[in-house]
Amino acid sequence: MTSLILAVGNKNLSSWSLRPWLAMKQAGIPFEEVNLKMRTPAFRDTLARDYAPARLVPVLRHGDRLVWESLAICEYVAETFPDAKLWPADPVARAFARAIAAEMHAGFGALRQALPMNICGQFEVPGLAPDVRADVDRIVDLWRMARDRFGAGGSLLFGQFSIADAMYAPVATRFRTYGIDVPGFAAEYVEAIYALPAMKVWITDAERETQPDR
């Protein structure tokens, strides 16, 4: 079978890269990883040379097919590897999972701007601006609804791992990085994300990247 190549950015910082990487890794889908250092001239050059028309990471190459945009990549791998069960099997749960994944992909700009992903960082935030607080509250509400309605089979949003978890994993790390106070069930969900084997690999790589001498 034609191999998959996923180009990602810096693991400490690139929240969009984490999403499809985590979905593929956690599902055991084999792929080759290409690491591109963001904010370097080589970053744009490599994308233009090897991954056009994509202009950002993540980008997936599968033979002569190119897929960019994190959510589109997740959808592509879910369709290409149906046995990985990357979406919930139940249609109602699946629609809910798709809705909240889409909401993440399209929104929460205030949170993303004020609290950028920085897995290895630890920062104190004295107070959240109202629009950031509203994003946090909305995310916690979505997590609560998913966990209450569909989460009985495990510790993740829909019980078992799904693309919805991959989409929200970088929010889980932000909550930890910035010490955001969330209700107990949401804190447990953050723990569950950190406990995913694939997530541990990504975090170890992020630590190596930020402290190469360790």
Ligand X SMILES: N[C@@H](CCC(=O)N[C@@H](CS)C(=O)NCC(=O)O)C(=O)O
For residue 160, the cross-strand partners are 158
Nearer to ligand X, 116 or 159 (CB): 116
**Contact flag: residue 9 with ligand X (CB under 6 A):** yes
Distance CA 6, CA 137 (A): 32
Question: Which span sits near ligand X by CB under 6 A: 21-29, 56-64, 107-115, 194-202?
Answer: 56-64
Please identify which residue in 43, 76, 81, 194 interacts with ligand X, judged by CB under 6 A. 43
**Contact flag: residue 70 with ligand X (CB under 6 A):** yes
Please identify which residue in 33, 69, 207, 209 interacts with ligand X, judged by CB under 6 A. 69
**Contact flag: residue 53 with ligand X (CB under 6 A):** no
Please identify which residue in 1, 2, 39, 126 interacts with ligand X, judged by CB under 6 A. 39
Residue of minimal Cβ distance to ligand X: 56
**Contact flag: residue 56 with ligand X (CB under 6 A):** yes
Nearer to ligand X, 16 or 96 (CB): 16
Which stretches of the chain bind ligand X, using CB under 6 A?
Answer: 9, 14-17, 38-39, 43, 56-58, 69-70, 105
